[in-house]
Amino acid sequence: RDINLIINLDDIEEVAHQVLSKIGWSYYRSTADTGSAFDSNITAFSRYWFRPRVLRPVREIDTSTTILGIPSSLPIFVSPAAMAKLGHPLGEINITRGAYACGIIQGISSNASCTVDEIADARQGQQPLIFQLYVNKDHKITEDTLRKIDQLGFKAIMLTVDAPVLGKRELDMKARGLPVIRGNNNSGGEGTALRAGVANSLGGYFDANLNWEDLAWIRSITKLPIVIKGVQCVEDVELALQYGCAGVLLSNHGGRQLDYAPASIDILYELRQRRPDILDEKKLEVYCDGGFRRGTDVLKALCLGATAVGLGRPFLFANGAYGEEGVIKVAEVIGEEIATSMRLLGVTKLSELKPEMVTRMA
């Protein structure tokens, strides 16, 4: 389909479904177990409605923000997701180029299908990248990775903590995908007949004993700010704060890990109820991801106090469907939705989005 006929992110997913290989589609689209966590990521937004303001001048608006002090043209970033080459031969590099073109930050997966050197080479100028870390059972390997990331000039570490083991990804398992492309990691996994699939071929090296005390070890290797990815309740936001993290990404991993894990907008809502001080005083930055497909989804999270929102599958699907152009299209489409909805809400900058502009239905 002509890219000019794309009007929303669901259209891109539809095209991706048509053009991706069975293995690629199944790996990207896969969810854990019954898919309930994934479904609720999408449906949760329908419980949150706006309380817009009118008769405010909104001709000029500004959608830009900063994430960990890094300027971003939109309050969105590319959530780190593995194996972009399953969609397009240039893999993550298309996303790097596209992210630069639209002024947003890309998270690079530990399981990216391009090497970190290739991705770093694809940067333009001072283009900021964030590295997503899965800690290896062999801590020496992780130490080497962290040093390398520092040396390549990445801006932050996003430590994924919702995957001590991999969730049961059924679509992926059914496709029986074999690991056809290897990038950053060659460690492989325990690909038993039952757990065959792309995910399983990637996740065998994770340290399932990783815990809060390991943050001190990571800090002894790198001074980069640490964002904890995969926080799913208020108590763990408080611990992240206590342990000096720069941010938390509220996430259920796109519904790919624990089934019936909450949608990030619901975790954020609970945080807003119980610890508004953390959000209002920005004691750390709070981000969300999982199921964000519309400008209004993003604005709801910002009203409740999130700094920015990550998108995972939309960028993978777009890369698969249209390469770099598709990546840019995702930002254009959601950026335009954000701009329109800001005007309709009566705000001209993101800092004007307030909790009282959103209400939650039972």
Q: Which residues of the shown chain bind ligand FNR in the complex (CB under 6 A)?
A: 27-28, 41, 79-82, 109-111, 132, 160, 229, 251, 253-254, 256, 289-292, 311-313, 316
For residue 9, the minimal CB distance to ligand FNR (Å) is: 9
The nearer residue to ligand FNR, 160 or 200, going by C-beta atoms, is 160
Helical H segments across 134-243, by residue range: 139-151, 170-175, 198-202, 214-221, 234-242
Residue 75 beta carbon to ligand FNR: minimum distance, rounded to whole angstroms: 15
Nearer to ligand FNR, 271 or 311 (CB): 311
Collapse the DSSP code of 303 into the 3-class scheme (helix H, G, I; strand E, B; otherwise coil) and give the result.
helix
Distance from C-alpha of 239 to C-alpha of 259, rounded to nearest angstrom: 23
CA gap 248, 48 in Å, rounded: 22
To ligand FNR, the closest distance from the beta carbon of 335 in angstroms equals 16
Q: Quick count: other Cβ atoms within 10 Å of Cβ 239? A: 16
Check: CB of residue 27 under 8 Å from CB of residue 197: yes
Q: How far apart, in whole angstroms, are the C-alpha atoms of residue 32 and residue 39?
A: 11
Active site annotation includes 253: yes
Q: Which is nearer to ligand FNR, 290 or 347 (CB)?
A: 290
Q: Are 260 and 211 in contact (CB under 8 A)?
A: no
Beta carbon nearer to ligand FNR, 312 or 335: 312
Measure the CA–CA gap between 359 and 86, rounded to whole angstroms.
40
Options 17, 88, 139, 253, the catalytic residue: 253
Q: Taking a C-beta distance cutoff of 8 angstroms, is the pair 156, 146 a contact?
A: no
- Is residue 6 a contact partner of residue 307, using CB atoms and an 8 Å limit? no
Q: Which of 65, 3, 9, 6 is nearest to 297 (CA)?
A: 9
- C-beta nearest to ligand FNR: residue: 312
d(CA 203, CA 83): 12
Question: Which is closer to ligand FNR, CB of 28 or CB of 357?
Answer: 28
- Minimum distance of ligand FNR from residue 295's CB (angstroms): 14
Beta carbon of residue 78, minimum distance to ligand FNR (angstroms, whole number): 9
CB nearer ligand FNR, residue 222 or residue 257: 257
Distances (CA, A) of 262 to 78, 158, 256, 314: 21, 20, 12, 20
In angstroms, what is the minimal distance from the CB of 313 to ligand FNR? 3
Compute φ and ψ for 292, nearest 5 degrees. -75, 115
Q: Which are the catalytic amino acids? A: 253
